[in-house]
């Protein structure tokens, strides 16, 4: 199923709830960006206690841009009723296969892997057939507002599209998500390349009316 997934990269509980309330009636899923400074320089607010206390029907996937994701996944599973998927970073220094296996088999949570623009697909071959979702980053993890596939990320837009097509040909049933730098002009080409979930932050939340902007973007996937 094609869907636009609003990305919540926030600095406070108030900002989180404001953004969630702005989009919750026009999406089935949101992504919570989790940064604790251990893997990438930035940090975000992601308190599972507070998030779990917010009443919403929207499902939550958590993008864990951290070195040790398992304790955070355990907290989200225990405290957040609508938590459905954990996405771990391929760039962490812990054994990817063991982390993915623990989340999937021990915690019973759907699991995805996110790869930065410069990370080749072959580096995650060991888990490509065991994950629920592949999240391909269009920007370098850690902050919103970056340009899709810019030269600073050592990866051109064409290279990112090639990675999407490689993943689709490698495993046709794999859900592919693109995250970061997505513009309105990119949505249709990304879908054509094989993306099912399009994760968008700045384009929605820097608009004058995030709710209306999400409704507008949803028209691209009809």
DSSP state of 81: T
Question: What's the token pair of residue 198?
Answer: 């399009």
* Residue 199 contacts residue 186 (beta carbons within 8 Å): no
- What's the pLDDT score for residue 146? 77
User: What is the rounded distance in angstroms from the CA atom of residue 169 to the CA atom of residue 9?
Assistant: 31
State pTM to two decimals: 0.94
- Cα 10 off chain centre by: 14
Model confidence band, residue 148 (pLDDT cutoffs 50, 70, 90): confident
- What's the pLDDT score for residue 184? 95
* Residue 200 contacts residue 180 (beta carbons within 8 Å): no
Measured over the CA atoms of residue 66, residue 68, residue 71 and residue 73, the dihedral's sign is positive
The model's pLDDT over 72-86, given as tens digits with 9 standing for 90+, comes to 999 999 999 999 999
Domain CATH for 92: 3.20.20.70
* Residue 206 contacts residue 7 (beta carbons within 8 Å): no
- What's the pLDDT score for residue 149? 79
- What's the pLDDT score for residue 151? 56
Name the residue range of residue 94's domain. 3-221
- What's the pLDDT score for residue 145? 66
- What's the pLDDT score for residue 69? 98
With 80 as the cut, is the pLDDT of residue 150 above it?
A: no
DSSP state of 191: H
Model confidence band, residue 118 (pLDDT cutoffs 50, 70, 90): confident
**Comparing C-alpha atoms, which of 147, 148, 91, 143 is closest to residue 120?**
91
Mean pLDDT of the chain: 94
With 70 as the cut, is the pLDDT of residue 152 above it?
A: no
* Residue 133 contacts residue 177 (beta carbons within 8 Å): yes
Task: Name the percent of the chain lying above pLDDT 70.
Answer: 95
With 70 as the cut, is the pLDDT of residue 62 above it?
A: yes
Higher pLDDT, 146 or 198: 198
Residues 194-209 have a mean pLDDT of 96
Count the neighbouring beta carbons within 10 Å of the beta carbon of residue 2: 13
Residues 14-33 have a mean pLDDT of 98
61 forms beta bridges with 31, 85
* Residue 70 contacts residue 102 (beta carbons within 8 Å): yes
The total number of structural domains in the chain stands at 1
Question: Please, which residues have CB within 8 angstroms of residue 201's CB and are 6 or more apart in sequence?
Answer: 6, 7, 8, 9, 33, 144, 145, 180
């Amino acid at each position: 199923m094609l869907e636009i997934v609003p990305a919540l990269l926030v600095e406070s509980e108030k900002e989180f709830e404001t953004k969630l309330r702005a989009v919750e009636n026009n999406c089935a899923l949101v992504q919570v960006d989790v940064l604790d400074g251990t893997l990438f320089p930035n940090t975000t607010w992601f308190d599972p206690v507070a998030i779990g206390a917010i009443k919403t029907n929207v499902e939550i996937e958590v993008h864990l841009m951290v070195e040790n994701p398992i304790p955070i996944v355990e907290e989200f599973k225990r405290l957040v009723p609508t938590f459905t998927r954990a996405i771990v970073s391929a760039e962490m220094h812990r054994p990817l296969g063991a982390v993915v296996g623990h989340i999937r088999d021990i915690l019973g949570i759907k699991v995805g892997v996110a790869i930065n623009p410069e990370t080749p697909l072959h580096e995650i071959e060991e888990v490509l057939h065991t994950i629920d979702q592949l999240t391909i980053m269009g920007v370098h993890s850690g902050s919103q507002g970056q340009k899709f596939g810019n030269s600073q990320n050592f990866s051109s837009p064409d290279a990112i599209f090639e990675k999407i097509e490689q993943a689709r040909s490698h495993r046709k049933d794999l859900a592919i998500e693109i995250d970061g730098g997505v513009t309105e002009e990119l949505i249709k080409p990304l879908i054509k390349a094989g993306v099912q979930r399009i994760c968008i932050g700045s384009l929605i939340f820097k608009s004058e009316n995030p709710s209306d902007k999400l409704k507008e973007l949803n028209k691209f996937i009809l």
